[in-house]
A and B are shown apart, each in its own frame.
Chain A
Amino acid sequence: MRTIDMHTHLPGRSYGAGRRPTHEFLAMLDRAGVDQAVVLTVDGFFFDDVAANNALAEQAAESGGRLIPFCTVDPRGDGAVAEVRRCIEGLGFRGLKFHPWLQGFSPLEGFMRPIAAEAERLGVPILFHDGTPCYSTPLQVAYLAEEFPNLTIILGHGGLMDLWVEAIAAVRRYPNCHVCLCGSAPPAVFARMIAELGTAKVTIGTDAGFGDDYSAEFRMAQFRALALPEADREAIFWRNAVRLLAIS
């Protein structure tokens, strides 16, 4: 079955991984049976956001359409909105990614508003790290969905181990809040989330490129082992992703 991984990270100098040649990253996705992947930065959370976006654009260009980049920006910076526009309109990025606690801000802070408004105007989703107090809880992230009803917000992890119940509440509360099942919560939790939420706003991700190389294979195997009707499986493995990313 076609498989789109909604949450991977391009390895960089953060966490000591080092930049990987594109073909190696694609080989890792091959081993996991992933056809296409949303690719996010790690370095951009800590270092030069523009350089990190350029690196993503370069490697996506080498991937034959398999890597679909999301940009990040320093949300406090004066150039944040312009950099979002450059990435989306100039470089063909399909969304934005923020990791509030690593980037040191709360999604509730005022400077997120013009960025969210720009994403809403451009019609691209914002994927957030979520599941971690005190700046990345599902409801903090989803508050942007309350304020920008035409903006698509994706909870990038579904609350992780501690806040998946809150992630369910956020996805239920806001029609424009989606969830990518991804991260450390065990598959029984993911199955429970699908049972509670249905599949219309659910996608899957592996966090590949962040941490253990085996995570892509391991987590995809977990998703494949979920007992789901075929239509639900298709929805979360690729159909919903195609719609969110506006790809063919």
Chain B
Amino acid sequence: MNPGMVIDGHVTAGAGLYFDIGPEQLIEAMDRHGIGQALLAPSDGWLAVDNREGNEQILAWTRRWPGRLLGYATANPWYGERALAELERALDEGLHGIKLHPARQGFMLLEPIVEPILAFAARRRVPVYIVTGVPVASMPLQLAELARRFPETPLIMGRSGRTDFSLDLLPAARLAPNIYIETAYNLPATLGAIAQAIGPGRLLFASDAPFTNLELELSKLELIPEWPAMREAVLGANLARLLRLDP
């Protein structure tokens, strides 16, 4: 990774329930906005049931655009040992992290079936991106409780508990130093407050493109108080450290 390279921590491609997103348009948008690398995440059916199919497709795209696309693997925790085997395989093949989506995958974040995956992630030293903000299934303070049980596993609080758990974001981040916050769905004043409360070292640029407007996801960051001082960390260095990308 080049110093100063912008890494986007969460983007999506593939045919989902409502969207069919070709990776080419993602690469074009990355080129247009100076994004060096992006972490591609599975969605919908790939998350819920067709885990291997999704992991394979994401691997294929990372190979087609080497050095540009990185990828999250997923496995539904209900598959138990089979889930761990699939994650092991996908990481060995070259994926970089794990994504979980409790509502799509049919579990509640504090249910024991997710624990082997978090222990596995700690062993493999990869971050786990978890979608939060779904009542009952996945709420920020549940993520914090899980983070305290697995202090060696970096957890990215996907969607920051939006929409109804905005008030929980900072308490959760304070409870567990292994929780990371993404920039998507947070606006500059909030991002500034987060950086002030927990330090900029746990703030990651992630756009959730193409669902969001990539240009605005980048330009809004310029409005964060004291942005220049944290720019390099938030835009890439923090994530590079989490993913152990070569400097």
Interface on A for B, CB 8 Å cutoff? 106, 108-109, 133-134, 137, 139-140, 143, 146, 162-163, 165-166, 169-170, 173
Contact = CB atoms under 8 A, between A and B. Distances in A.
Given A108-B171, A109-B167, A165-B108, A134 B135 contact: yes
B142 A139 contact: yes
A137 B139 contact: yes
B61 interface: no
A90 B164 CA distance: 38
23 contacts: A106-B168, A108-B168, A108-B171, A109-B167, A133-B135, A133-B136, A133-B139, A133-B164, A133-B165, A134-B135, A134-B165, A137-B139, A139-B139, A139-B144, A143-B141, A162-B108, A162-B136, A163-B136, A165-B110, A165-B111, A166-B110, A166-B145, A173-B145
Contacts of B141: 137, 139-140, 143
A171 B243 CA distance: 35
A139 B167 CA distance: 13
B197 interface: no
Contacts of B223: none
B145 A134 contact: no
A106 B166 CA distance: 11
Contacts of B175: 146
A134 B162 CA distance: 11
B173 to A, nearest CB: 12
Interface of B: 108, 110-111, 135-136, 139, 141-142, 144-145, 148, 164-165, 167-168, 171, 175
Given A162-B136, A166-B145, 16 more contacts: A108-B167, A108-B171, A109-B167, A133-B135, A133-B164, A134-B139, A134-B165, A137-B142, A139-B139, A139-B141, A139-B144, A140-B168, A146-B175, A166-B108, A166-B110, A170-B145
A109 B108 CA distance: 25
Contacts of A134: 135, 139, 164-165
B110 A169 contact: yes
Contacts of A163: 136
A137 B175 CA distance: 16
Contacts of A146: 175
Nearest to B141: A139
A106 B110 contact: no
Contacts of A166: 108, 110, 142, 145
Contacts of A140: 141, 168
Nearest to A137: B139
Contacts of B135: 133-134
Nearest to B136: A162
Nearest to A166: B110
Contacts of A137: 139, 141-142
Q: Closest 3 A-B residue pairs measured CB to CB?
A: A133-B135, A139-B141, A134-B164
A103 to B, nearest CB: 15
B145 A169 contact: yes
Contacts of B171: 108, 143
Contacts of B139: 133-134, 137, 139
Contacts of B110: 165-166, 169
B156 to A, nearest CB: 19
A204 to B, nearest CB: 23
